[in-house]
Structure 1
Amino acid sequence: MSAPSSKKITLILGAELGKLITLPLTWLTLIGIFILNLFLTAAFTSVGLQGASGTQSILNISLASMGYLQAGFIILGILAACSEYTGGQIRTTLTTIPWRGLQLSTKYVALAIITVPAAFIIAASGVLYTFIRMRDTAAGFEIDTMIKTIVGATGYLTLTTLLSAAIGALLRRTTPALVVLLGYYFVVSPLTRDFIPKIRSYFPDTAGSFMYMPPSPDEINALTPMQGTGILVLWTLIFITVAIVFHRRRDA
């Protein structure tokens, strides 16, 4: 089988992007995340107005909803990976695009193209809302810090979506993938917080949190934003690689 040309690669990417864009659940999920973020940010900001002031307080409050938002992006990644298996459309896809590794790789690229702007808008809207509400207490607010925080949050949500899509491709079923990922992020990881603090810093969710939220001064096993980014990127690439290998060897 001859290797696909650059034109074919572009067409495959366009096809994968078109499938995600025309999938109603994609937009329903993103709209739901956006509304949830505004609701949670408003609630956290109302509480924060009675607490500490300053730049760091604003950023902490505006991104306090990240722990809940990541669930929405996990769902987005799983839906992108598993939707074709639900109705058996994957057979048509693989018949049309016989290069399995390329097909799955371009799906991840297409997913990133959709996720990056969506994550940026959602993260920025939360920060902007909190800043407007707390601008009178924002002494010494630095725009560079805000931009770095929003970019870090965008990167974390995007990488979390891609990692979830990779695990979804491995399991090929929506419900098991949701159980595994939501169980890890919201049950296993919090329970291990006090038992293995040194190792836990290298877990994908913990390492990724340093991308957008500076650690507290008394945190011993803190990572820098670059270290957190590198570790989460490594986790994501490992799962994507494994997903591609299995995708090439398994039956549809």
Structure 2
Amino acid sequence: MTMAATTAVLWAEWTKIRTISSSMWTLTAAFFSTIGLGALLSVILGGEFDTLGAAEQAAFDPVMTSFIGMGLGQLAMITFGVLVVSSEYGTGMIRTTLAAVPQRGLLYCAKAAAAAVPGLAVGMATSVATFFVGQALLGDHGASLGDPGVLRAVTGAGVYLTLMLLFAVGVATMLRKAVLSLSVLMAYFFMIAPIFNFVPATRKVGFFFPDQAGTSVMQVVQQADGPPYGPWAGLGIMALWAAASLAGGYFALKRNDA
């Protein structure tokens, strides 16, 4: 496969993505919902900071406060990742795509890359905008980009959203149906993961789940009951989850017919 042919496949996959209006709207939703919820909580906590106890003030993380809306951004990124894959299966166009590009590994890599590039761009724009809006609303209780750990948290937040998108791409490729993929992912992130996080007996296991591990990179103030690893290690665990999901998607695409 020549470089020109590879570029053509990449361009074709990008064309598919940008012509699906629903997928573009999910990226827009990721941006505005994350900023909006983060801004709301920043206003509330900024006004009530002085009423907090000494221990609560010491544990206050202004950066993580502004990133509280990442849950909504994550949901939008997951939806985007699922739509990138499932739209072709839903319309039956996957048969035409596989006939045009029989090298399934190339097709899969191109599809993942075509999704990751705009995902990373939106993820980084979202994290930067969310940080500056949140810190401005926190006023004297906010942090600056030059404070220890802040640049890492802001950069890591954008990477985290991109990894979550790729995780969803892998899951959707394995399951192929949009409703099924979203049902499984939503059930995990909004039911199973929170249960593991809040039940003391399973909390230590939950630290190694993708969302819990990945969000640790956004924390600047270390919490007493936090995970037993550092922020970059947490993002690394999330990256392993994304890689495992993508690998599962590749083998499913290679083995199954359209």
TM-score relative to the length of structure 1 = 0.91
Specify the SS of the correspondent of 2:47: coil
Partner of 1:159: 163
Question: Is 2:41 the partner of 1:44?
Answer: yes
Question: Which residue is equivalent to 1:241?
Answer: 247
Q: Where does structure 2 lack aligned partners over 5 or more consecutive residues?
A: 50-56
Percent of pairs with identical residues:
27
Runs of 4+ in structure 1 off by over 6 angstroms are: none
| SS of residue matched to 1:246 | helix
CA RMSD of aligned residues (A): 2.1
**Map 1:36-75 → 2, pairs under 5 A:** 36-52=33-49, 57-75=61-79
In terms of mean alpha carbon deviation, does 190-199 or 218-227 score higher?
218-227
Could you tell me which of 107, 111, 128 is aligned with 2:111?
A: 107
1:170 to 166, 169, 174: 174
Contact 2:30 2:73 in 1 (8 A): yes
Preserved contact between residue 55 and residue 138 of structure 1 (Cα < 8 Å)? no
- Whether 2:223 is the aligned partner of 1:217: answer yes
Aligned residue pair count: 249
Partner of 2:52: none
Aligned counterpart, 1:20: 17
- Cα distance 1:145–1:220, how it changes in 2: closer, same or farther (>3 A)? closer
Q: Taking structure 1 as reference, are residues 137 and 231 closer, same or farther at Cα in structure 2, changes over 3 Å only?
A: closer
The answer as to 2:32 corresponding to 1:35 is yes
In the alignment, which of 125, 129, 139 is matched to residue 129 of structure 2? 125
Partner of 2:210: 204
- Aligned residue for 1:93? 97
Deviation string 1:120-163 (CA, Å, 9 cap, x unpaired) is: 11111111111222333347763563321111101111000000
Shift of 1:42: 2.5
Task: Call closer, same or farther: CA 1:13–1:139 in 2, change over 3 Å.
Answer: closer
Which residue does the alignment assign to 1:192?
Answer: 196
Secondary structure of the residue aligned to 2:102 is coil
CA contact (8 A) 2:160 2:215 kept: yes
The question of 1:179 aligning with 2:183 is answered yes
1:9 is aligned to 6
1:81 aligns with 2:88: no
1:197-224 CA distance string (max 9 Å, x none): 2222111111111122246431253321
Tell me the CA shift for residue 168 of structure 1.
0.5
| 1:150-184 deviation line (CA, Å, top 9, x unaligned) | 11101111000000111001110000111100110
Q: Could you tell me which residue of structure 2 aligns to residue 227 of structure 1?
A: 233
Alignment gaps of 5+ in structure 1: none
Partners of 1:139 and 1:84 in 2: CA distance: 44
CA contact (8 A) 2:35 2:69 kept: no
- The 8 Å contact of residues 101 and 245 in structure 1, kept in 2 or not, is answered as no
TM-score, with structure 2 as normaliser: 0.89
Which is worse superposed, 49-58 or 30-39?
A: 49-58
Take 1:140 and 1:215, find their aligned partners in 2: how far apart are those partners? 14
Displacement of 1:231 in angstroms is 1.1
Please say which of residues 173-182 and 43-52 is displaced more in the overlay: 43-52
Rounded to whole Å, the distance in 2 between the matches of 1:149 and 1:216 is: 12
TM-aligned CA distance change 1:206 to 1:233, over 3 Å = same
